[in-house]
Structure 1
Protein backbone atom coordinates (compact mmCIF):
# COMPACT_ATOMS: atom_id res chain seq x y z
CA UNK A 1 0.00 0.00 0.00
CA UNK A 2 1.33 3.44 -0.89
CA UNK A 3 2.01 5.99 1.81
CA UNK A 4 -0.70 8.70 1.88
CA UNK A 5 0.24 12.14 0.61
CA UNK A 6 0.00 15.19 2.90
CA UNK A 7 -3.59 16.29 3.33
CA UNK A 8 -4.92 12.77 3.06
CA UNK A 9 -6.52 10.72 5.78
CA UNK A 10 -5.22 7.99 8.06
CA UNK A 11 -7.59 5.66 9.86
CA UNK A 12 -7.38 5.33 13.61
CA UNK A 13 -6.96 1.64 14.43
CA UNK A 14 -9.71 -0.12 16.35
CA UNK A 15 -7.69 -0.34 19.58
CA UNK A 16 -5.44 2.66 18.87
CA UNK A 17 -5.63 5.89 20.84
CA UNK A 18 -5.79 9.16 18.93
CA UNK A 19 -2.36 10.33 20.07
CA UNK A 20 -0.70 7.16 18.75
CA UNK A 21 -2.51 7.60 15.44
CA UNK A 22 -1.22 11.19 15.20
CA UNK A 23 2.37 9.98 15.74
CA UNK A 24 1.99 7.21 13.17
CA UNK A 25 0.45 9.52 10.56
CA UNK A 26 3.04 12.25 11.04
CA UNK A 27 5.92 9.78 10.90
CA UNK A 28 4.49 8.44 7.63
CA UNK A 29 3.98 11.80 5.96
CA UNK A 30 7.21 13.42 7.18
CA UNK A 31 9.43 10.37 6.61
CA UNK A 32 10.82 10.83 10.13
CA UNK A 33 11.19 8.12 12.76
CA UNK A 34 8.97 8.49 15.82
CA UNK A 35 12.03 9.21 17.94
CA UNK A 36 12.77 12.35 15.89
CA UNK A 37 9.31 13.89 16.30
CA UNK A 38 8.90 16.60 18.95
CA UNK A 39 6.86 15.66 22.02
CA UNK A 40 3.16 15.82 21.17
CA UNK A 41 2.49 17.02 24.71
CA UNK A 42 4.05 20.39 23.77
CA UNK A 43 1.16 21.01 21.33
CA UNK A 44 -1.84 19.42 23.04
CA UNK A 45 -2.72 17.62 26.26
CA UNK A 46 -2.34 14.04 25.08
CA UNK A 47 -4.39 12.45 27.86
CA UNK A 48 -7.28 14.83 27.21
CA UNK A 49 -7.09 14.25 23.45
CA UNK A 50 -7.32 10.48 23.91
CA UNK A 51 -10.01 10.68 26.59
CA UNK A 52 -12.33 13.18 24.87
CA UNK A 53 -12.38 11.31 21.59
CA UNK A 54 -12.84 7.95 23.32
CA UNK A 55 -15.83 8.93 25.46
CA UNK A 56 -17.66 11.76 23.69
CA UNK A 57 -20.08 11.20 20.86
CA UNK A 58 -20.63 14.96 20.52
CA UNK A 59 -17.07 15.90 19.53
CA UNK A 60 -16.80 15.92 15.75
CA UNK A 61 -13.12 16.88 15.53
CA UNK A 62 -10.20 18.61 17.23
CA UNK A 63 -7.71 20.70 15.27
CA UNK A 64 -4.25 21.75 16.38
CA UNK A 65 -0.79 22.47 14.96
CA UNK A 66 2.10 20.11 15.54
CA UNK A 67 5.55 19.81 13.97
CA UNK A 68 4.69 22.08 11.03
CA UNK A 69 1.36 20.40 10.25
CA UNK A 70 -2.27 21.16 10.88
CA UNK A 71 -3.69 18.04 12.52
CA UNK A 72 -7.41 17.30 12.44
CA UNK A 73 -8.36 14.44 14.73
CA UNK A 74 -11.77 12.84 14.30
CA UNK A 75 -13.04 9.78 16.18
CA UNK A 76 -12.04 7.34 13.40
CA UNK A 77 -9.43 9.22 11.36
CA UNK A 78 -6.56 11.69 11.33
CA UNK A 79 -6.00 14.31 8.63
CA UNK A 80 -2.73 16.18 8.20
CA UNK A 81 -1.94 19.21 6.10
CA UNK A 82 1.49 20.76 5.92
CA UNK A 83 1.53 24.37 7.11
CA UNK A 84 3.15 26.84 4.75
Structure 2
Protein backbone atom coordinates (compact mmCIF):
# COMPACT_ATOMS: atom_id res chain seq x y z
CA UNK A 1 0.00 0.00 0.00
CA UNK A 2 1.10 3.51 -0.70
CA UNK A 3 0.58 6.27 1.82
CA UNK A 4 -1.24 9.25 0.43
CA UNK A 5 0.05 12.79 0.45
CA UNK A 6 -1.57 13.15 3.84
CA UNK A 7 1.59 11.33 4.87
CA UNK A 8 2.29 9.98 8.30
CA UNK A 9 0.70 13.09 9.81
CA UNK A 10 -2.54 12.60 7.90
CA UNK A 11 -5.06 15.33 7.18
CA UNK A 12 -6.27 17.56 9.99
CA UNK A 13 -10.00 17.70 10.66
CA UNK A 14 -10.89 21.39 10.54
CA UNK A 15 -12.41 23.24 13.48
CA UNK A 16 -16.16 22.73 13.32
CA UNK A 17 -15.80 20.23 10.45
CA UNK A 18 -17.62 16.92 10.83
CA UNK A 19 -15.61 13.70 10.36
CA UNK A 20 -17.79 12.83 7.36
CA UNK A 21 -17.11 16.15 5.66
CA UNK A 22 -13.40 15.79 6.43
CA UNK A 23 -13.29 12.34 4.78
CA UNK A 24 -14.96 13.73 1.66
CA UNK A 25 -12.60 16.72 1.52
CA UNK A 26 -9.48 14.58 1.95
CA UNK A 27 -10.48 11.91 -0.58
CA UNK A 28 -11.43 14.56 -3.14
CA UNK A 29 -8.07 16.29 -2.61
CA UNK A 30 -6.21 13.02 -3.10
CA UNK A 31 -8.16 12.17 -6.25
CA UNK A 32 -7.90 15.70 -7.62
CA UNK A 33 -11.64 16.08 -8.02
CA UNK A 34 -14.60 17.86 -6.47
CA UNK A 35 -16.47 16.35 -3.53
CA UNK A 36 -19.58 16.10 -5.72
CA UNK A 37 -17.66 13.81 -8.11
CA UNK A 38 -17.27 11.15 -5.37
CA UNK A 39 -19.66 8.30 -4.66
CA UNK A 40 -22.01 9.12 -1.77
CA UNK A 41 -20.18 8.39 1.48
CA UNK A 42 -23.52 7.24 2.92
CA UNK A 43 -23.35 4.23 0.54
CA UNK A 44 -20.22 3.07 2.41
CA UNK A 45 -20.78 4.06 6.03
CA UNK A 46 -23.51 5.56 8.18
CA UNK A 47 -22.37 9.18 8.06
CA UNK A 48 -24.59 10.25 10.95
CA UNK A 49 -23.04 7.54 13.16
CA UNK A 50 -19.53 8.51 11.97
CA UNK A 51 -20.16 12.14 12.87
CA UNK A 52 -21.35 11.19 16.37
CA UNK A 53 -18.82 8.43 17.01
CA UNK A 54 -16.09 10.53 18.57
CA UNK A 55 -18.49 12.12 21.03
CA UNK A 56 -18.44 8.77 22.90
CA UNK A 57 -15.60 8.30 25.39
CA UNK A 58 -12.95 5.74 24.55
CA UNK A 59 -13.35 5.72 20.76
CA UNK A 60 -9.92 6.17 19.18
CA UNK A 61 -10.31 5.33 15.48
CA UNK A 62 -12.58 3.89 12.80
CA UNK A 63 -11.38 2.28 9.58
CA UNK A 64 -13.22 1.58 6.34
CA UNK A 65 -12.65 1.52 2.56
CA UNK A 66 -13.91 4.27 0.27
CA UNK A 67 -13.15 5.37 -3.31
CA UNK A 68 -10.00 3.20 -3.59
CA UNK A 69 -8.56 4.19 -0.21
CA UNK A 70 -8.34 2.58 3.19
CA UNK A 71 -9.60 5.38 5.43
CA UNK A 72 -8.70 5.70 9.10
CA UNK A 73 -10.63 8.35 11.00
CA UNK A 74 -9.38 9.62 14.34
CA UNK A 75 -10.93 12.46 16.35
CA UNK A 76 -8.68 15.12 14.79
CA UNK A 77 -7.03 13.39 11.80
CA UNK A 78 -7.90 11.47 8.65
CA UNK A 79 -5.38 8.99 7.21
CA UNK A 80 -5.71 7.65 3.66
CA UNK A 81 -3.83 4.71 2.21
CA UNK A 82 -4.26 3.99 -1.49
CA UNK A 83 -5.47 0.46 -2.13
CA UNK A 84 -3.40 -1.63 -4.52
Q: TM-score, normalised by structure 2?
A: 0.89
Q: Which ranges in structure 2 are unaligned for 5 or more consecutive residues?
A: none
2:51 is the counterpart of 1:64: no
Once residues 59 and 7 of structure 2 are traced to their aligned partners in structure 1, the CA distance between those partners, rounded to angstroms, is: 21
Q: Is the 8 A contact 1:64 1:72 kept in 2?
A: yes
Q: Which residue is 1:24 aligned to?
A: 25
What displacement does 1:35 show?
1.2
Q: Runs (4+) of structure 1 moved beyond 2 Å?
A: none
Q: CA-atom RMSD, angstroms? A: 1.4
Post-superposition CA distance 1:3-38 (Å, at most 9, x none): x71555100011010000001100111101111100
Tell me how many residue pairs correspond in the alignment.
80
